[in-house]
Amino acid sequence: MTEPAPLPTAADIKERAAEWLQRREFWTWSKKDQAELDAWRAQSSAHEIAFIRMEGAWNRTMRLGALRQPMRQTKRETRARWSFALRSVAAALALVVLAGASVAWLNYTPEKTFSTAIGERKTLKLADGSSIQLNTDTQITLRMDAGQRHVELLRGEAFFDIHHNDHVPFTVAARGYRVIDLGTKFLVRADRGDLEVSLVEGKARIEVLNKPRQSHSAELSPGDVAVASAGSLSVVRKSQTALATELSWQRGVLIFDNTTLAEAVGELGRYNRRKFVIADPAVARRTIYGAVPATDVEAFIRVARSVMGLKVEQRNGEIVFSQ
């Protein structure tokens, strides 16, 4: 008696969803193809969910390809580039599943410190309905009780989705500034020279610690990005697409949009312990468009070689990029 075929795994289903999306977006697509896709999606809720997630992730990356050179490409090269991007999105979704297991439910606590290792992400669910997502190499101290809700961002990057309470404001302190929630979703990054606060939804106020009435303060609306240092505070506007790009780490993806190789390698280095070196200044200025899994160094290297035509070597524990 013939044994039944094994059931497809979640990874198999994601891969199949990526194949369907690639066919629809970049190859000849007919009514027959659409009917076959509809039939596949109708076979199970797992198929339907996988395709919706893949399509959503693809849309959020603005159909960015894998890394590409600023020159004309053949149709075959373009298809290969988009194929890599789809595989990257699929891999990133798999990373999201793994990262989703790292959730802590927190009741009121006088003070507690939370941190993530390089390449790790963690979500904290608070008793008041708020949540905090910690990005790679991040550390916070949380103080939460009936009279206060306060976070100090010691290093790194965190996204705050806050349940507003007029009687107990939620505040985030970092680099000598304080962010006060006014019913908000916002991103705070303090792993570079300046403090950067990006408001995604609602309202928030940023001010200098202990000097709320001085000029270095601002009320933020969605799309505002405040850049603060010891002596200045400036606010710029960003599109929702640009903010979504900044938050792509929540899905385990790094999105590069007209990014120099130097900037891309610097960002990749936040998620990996390996050291990257660009030997040629001209190579460092090359621009990149793409979406890659944040922790997949080997994928980045493969594309740097095959698509950008770069030489990549490992010397004394360093990954060196050159022409």
Instruction: Give the least confident one: 63-72, 146-155, 161-170, 215-224.
Output: 63-72
Query: Which one has a higher pLDDT value, 116 or 73?
Result: 116
Asked whether residue 134 falls in the same domain as residue 230, the answer is yes
Q: Is the dihedral of CA 146, 151, 157, 162 positive or negative?
A: positive
Are 132 and 210 in the same domain?
yes
Are 66 and 141 in a shared domain? Answer: no
In the chain, the percentage of residues whose pLDDT exceeds 70 is 78
Task: State yes or no: pLDDT of 320 exceeds 60.
Answer: yes
User: Do 257 and 232 fall within a single domain?
Assistant: no
**Stretch among 17-26, 153-162, 190-199 having the lowest mean pLDDT:** 17-26
- What mean pLDDT do residues 73-91 have? 50
Residues 314 and 228 in one domain: no
Mention every residue, 6+ apart, whose C-beta is less than 8 A from residue 307: 66, 67, 68, 69, 77, 80, 81, 84
Instruction: State how far the Cα of 49 lies from the Cα of 87, in Å rounded to an integer.
Output: 17
Residues 6+ away with beta carbon under 8 Å from 170 = 130, 149, 150, 151, 160, 162, 164, 180, 181, 184
User: Which segment of 10-19, 30-39, 127-136, 264-273 scores lowest on mean pLDDT?
Assistant: 10-19
Question: What pLDDT shows up at residue 199?
Answer: 95
pLDDT of residue 235: 94
**H or E element, residue 235:** strand 233-237
Is residue 135 in a domain?
Answer: yes
Q: Please, which residues have CB within 8 angstroms of residue 313's CB and are 6 or more apart in sequence? A: 319, 320, 322
Q: Across all residues in the chain, what is the average pLDDT?
A: 80
Which of 53 and 74 is assigned the larger pLDDT? 53
* Edge-to-edge strand ranges of the sheet holding 311-315: 275-278, 318-322, 311-315
Quick one: pLDDT band at residue 193, thresholds 50, 70, 90? confident
Inter-helix orientation angle 45-60/75-99, to 10°: 110
- The CATH number that applies at residue 181 is 2.60.120.1440
User: What pLDDT digit, counting tens, does each position of 236-266 carry?
Assistant: 999 888 888 888 898 888 888 888 999 999 9
Residues 18 and 149 placed together within one structural domain of the fold: no
Give the list of residues 6+ apart from residue 53 with CB closer than 8 angstroms, or none: 17, 93
Is residue 271 over pLDDT 90? yes
Q: Are residues 22 and 87 in the same domain?
A: yes
What gap in Å lies between CA 233 and CA 193, rounded to an integer? 13
* Within a domain: 20: yes
Residue 4 lies inside a defined structural domain of this protein: no
Cβ atoms of 295 and 308 within 8 Å: the answer is: no
Asked if 69 contacts 308 with a C-beta cutoff of 8 angstroms, the reply is: yes
Give the highest mean pLDDT range of 72-76, 121-125, 314-318: 121-125
My answer on whether 52 and 177 are in the same domain is no
Say what the pTM is: 0.68
Q: Is residue 80 part of a domain?
A: yes
Q: Where does a domain end: 99, 120, 145? A: 99
What is the dihedral sign for C-alpha 283, 287, 290, 293? positive
- Point out which residues pair with 218 in neighbouring strands: 206
Same domain, 71 and 150: no
* CATH number of the domain residue 284 falls in: 3.55.50.30
Residue 189: which H helix or E strand, with range?
A: strand 177-189
User: Does some domain include residue 3?
Assistant: no
Share of the chain above pLDDT 90, in %: 33
pLDDT band for 13, please (50, 70, 90 cuts). confident
Residue 108 and residue 239 in one domain: yes
With respect to residue 94, please indicate whether it lies within any of the assigned structural domains: yes
The whole-number pLDDT of residue 19 equals 76
As a whole number of angstroms, the distance between CA 87 and CA 285 comes to 26
Residues 49-58 have a mean pLDDT of: 73
Res 22: pLDDT: 67
Tokens of 223: 């799309």
For residues 225 and 259, membership in a common domain is answered with: no
Residues with Cβ within 8 Å of residue 171, at least 6 apart in sequence: 149, 150, 151, 178, 179, 180, 181
- Distance, in Å, from the CA atom of 123 to the CA atom of 126, rounded to the nearest integer, reads 10
Please give the tally of structural domains in the chain: 3
Going by their DSSP bridges, the two strands 103-106 and 122-126 should be labelled as: parallel
Domain that holds residue 281: 251-322
Report the C-alpha gap between 164 and 22 in whole angstroms.
42
Q: Choose the final residue of a domain: 213, 244, 275.
A: 244
The SS3 assignment for 9 reads coil
Q: What's the rounded mean pLDDT across residues 4-22?
A: 75
Pick the last residue of a domain from 179, 211, 244.
244
Contact 253, 89 (CB under 8 A): yes
236 lies in the same domain as 267: no
* Cα Rg of the chain, angstroms: 22
pLDDT at 281 over 60: yes
- Does the residue 191 lie in any domain? yes
1 occurs within a structural domain: no
Is the model more confident about 183 or about 107? Answer: 183
Q: pLDDT of 108-151, one tens digit each?
A: 667 899 999 999 999 998 888 899 999 999 999 999 887 889 99
